Structure 1
Amino acid sequence: MQNLAGKTAFVTGGASGIGLGIAKALRRAGMNVAIADIRQDHIDEAVGELGEESVLALELDVTDRAAFAAAADATEARFGKVHLLVNNAGIAVMGPVELATYADWDWTMSVNVGGVINGIVTFLPRILAHGEGGHIVNTASMSGIMPNAGTTLYTASKTAVVGLSEAMRGELEPKGVIVSAFCPGAVQSNIAESGKTRPAHLADTGYAETDRRRQQSGDLSHLFMTKEEVGERVREGIENDELFILTHHEFHEGVKDRAEAMIASVPDREEDPEYKAMFPFLFKNAIHAAERDRQNAKRTK
């Protein structure tokens, strides 16, 4: 989606941190932007930062499907057709997996995976119906590619987002809709305040002490990418139709090690030619070679 000016974007979790950075970059590119967020205080601050022109601010819990549909209707009533969906809203629940309660799991998956699903089910039919093409950006995380101990719930949710984005890419690109998995490293955001939006019926947590320690671990934000930097990176990724929108080179060695570990784990055994011929789509996805070639071409320019 190279031509952003005059088109409309819908950004969840759009009133602070990464979402606000994306919204700002899209506005600078000339898009109309609807920002949806669960926190009204963040919405008020974001409107002050973005301005009211060509911006629609909506309070939305991404787990509420009826509210999602109403937000989509409001966006179309204000701006018309939506071309870009950024499923960005997310939460972080961290700590030893043995401490996790059902409520910890349910809350994490309902927001980080369920919120993405709700965005897709709400907006994809509308994007396909107007026939002008579009783009869906699903915010995952480098945790979805580079898992680490102590992040099992978060990693599970973000790995799901990476996988569904890859599967959707090959299915929807022929229909004119590009799908990207956005996998940021550390960014200055309010995700550490996730607990403030935790619903009462999912309040039972095994992570009260780990959350308290995390909140008291000190301010390391000077090491993190700013929301403006990450917003521009996402805009660039959208305009380049990138499959994986990554932000930090520091992960290069770890990603390489993981890929090589997977390659090394493929058994060295004789292939069944009939099996391979019958199900060729199982063994290779053209989107990966295409993305490799796209990225390599960028580097040689």
Structure 2
Amino acid sequence: MDNFQNKTAFVTGAASGIGLSITRALLKSGANVMMSDINADALSKAANSLRTETGGSVDTVTCDVGNMDSVVAAAKATTDRFGKVHLLFNNAGVGLAGRPGNIAIKDWQWIVDINLMGIVHGIEAFVPAMVAHGEGGHIVNTASMAGHFTMAGMAPYHATKFAAVGYSETLAQELAPVNIGVSVLCPTWVKSKIHMAAFGRPTASEKSGNGEATKIDGTAAKVFEMTKGLVENGMEPDVLADLVLKSITAKRLYIFNDPEARASIDIRRDMILKDFDACLDDLGFKD
């Protein structure tokens, strides 16, 4: 895609953070944008602010990306309002940390439903019509550098973000013949509210046996304190949003933002090749 003028975009998690900044960048580039978020009040306020700021063509639809029916309804609202959709930003996401054996399955299901199935729902709801109109388009799935390296205490987040990367890589191969590009956004620390997301997990509202609120897992508490400062001092989301649009026009599959994170790619590659080669040696496949 060479430009965004008069193209229509659907953006999830658009009420704040990266989603809000992507919406702003799209409007400034002449696109029509349907903003979606699960928080209706925050979504309405964000849209009104952007209308004043940019004068762009923007509308809103409340959407729970973890619910396929909700995404399908949002897709219909978007086509009813703007017609053909050319750009899909599966951006909504949450975080969850904790130790193995101490993470409730309902919390696991919650993060999978949003971080992975939220992308799947967006693809299944929007892509058939994007293919049918024949004008091409582009999809951006928000993953993370956490989809390329791991750290202890964040297994649910890593699992969903690795899945988002692998899914996006496959989609890129499948959709290239119909002129639909795919990018996977893999940032490190960006100013947003992602570190607060775990407070919305299902067990956060449950009470313990003595009627007190369920306490956060000790590992999760440490991860929260670590990430809070990193996120609050991270890259400005508007800077990342400009990079996203440049990466779309450059037809990049991966979108990265942090030079210090490059070493993690090298370390992971070396770890994989070390064991790969050792296994081949054990099987007698010598150089």
Work out whether the TM-score is over 0.5.
Answer: yes
Counterpart-to-counterpart distance in 2, 1:221 and 1:23: 20
1:8 equivalenced with 2:8 (yes/no): yes
CA contact (8 A) 2:147 2:165 kept: yes
Gaps in structure 1 of 5+ consecutive residues: 272-301
CA distance in 2, matches of 1:223, 1:200: 29
Q: Could you tell which deviates more after superposition, 122-131 or 69-78?
A: 69-78
Instruction: Say whether residues 1:241 and 2:239 are aligned partners.
Output: no
Change (3 A) 1:202 1:152: farther
Q: 1:190 to 1:251 in 2, by over 3 A?
A: same
Q: Structure 1 length normalisation: TM-score?
A: 0.83
The letter of the residue matching 1:110 is D
Q: Match of 1:146, SS?
A: coil
The 5 A counterparts of 1:280-299 are none
Change (3 A) 1:180 1:105: same
When normalised by structure 2's length, the TM-score is 0.87
Alpha-carbon spacing, 1:114–1:166, altered in 2? closer, same or farther (3 Å): same
Tell whether the 8 Å contact from 2:195 to 2:231 is kept in structure 1 after alignment: no
1:27-70 residue CA offsets vs partner (Å, 9 max, x unmatched): 11111111110112321331133117410111111112112111
CA apart distance, 1:171: 1.4
Higher mean C-alpha displacement, 232-241 vs 93-102: 93-102
1:4-43 alignment runs, 5 A limit: 4-43=4-43
C-alpha contact 1:140 1:183 (8 A) present in aligned 2: yes
Instruction: Give the 3 Å change call, closer, same or farther, for CA 118–201 of structure 1 in structure 2.
Output: farther
Q: Which amino acid aligns with 1:249?
A: P
Give the deviation of 1:220 after TM superposition.
Answer: 4.5
| Partner residue, 1:175 | 178
User: Secondary structure of the residue that 1:143 maps to in structure 2?
Assistant: helix
Change (3 A) 1:81 1:203: farther
- 3-state SS of 2:101 partner: helix
Q: For 1:156 and 1:235, locate their aligned partners in 2 and report how far apart those are by CA, in whole Å.
A: 27
CA distance in 1, matches of 2:49, 2:99: 38
Q: Bigger CA drift: 137-146 or 194-203?
A: 194-203
2:238 partner letter: E
Unmatched tracts of structure 2, length 5 or more: 208-213
Q: How does 1:64-143 map to 2 (within 5 A)?
A: 64-143=67-146
- Kept after mapping to 2: 8 A contact 1:63/1:111: yes
C-alpha separation between the residues in 2 aligned to 1:135 and 1:108? 25
The Cα RMSD (Å) is 2.3
What SS is found at the alignment partner of 2:183?
strand
2:47 maps to a residue whose letter is: V
Q: In the aligned structure 1, how far is the partner of 2:118 from the partner of 2:184?
A: 15
Contact 1:107–1:202 under 8 Å retained in 2: no
Paired residues, number? 271
Query: Do 1:100 and 1:206's aligned partners in 2 also have CA atoms closer than 8 Å?
Result: no
Counterparts of 1:254 and 1:44, CA distance in 2: 39
Q: Supply the distance in 1 between the matched residues of 2:142 and 2:272 (Cα, whole angstroms).
A: 24
Residues 195 and 260 (structure 1 numbering): CA distance in 2 closer, same or farther, change over 3 Å? Answer: closer
Q: What pairs with 1:205-244 in structure 2 (closer than 5 Å)?
A: 207-208=216-217, 219-221=229-231, 223-244=233-254
Please state whether the residue corresponding to 2:35 is helix, strand or coil: strand
**What percentage of residue pairs aligned between the two structures are identical?**
38
Q: Match for 2:17: what amino acid?
A: G
* Maintained 8 Å contact 1:146/1:255: yes
Q: State how far apart, in whole Å, the 1-side matches of 2:223 and 2:273 are.
A: 36
Alignment CA distance shift 1:199-1:35 (3 Å) = farther
- Specify the alignment match of 1:286 in structure 2: none
Local SS of the residue matching 1:86: strand
Deviations 1:186-213 (A, max 9, x none): 1111112224544579969884555556
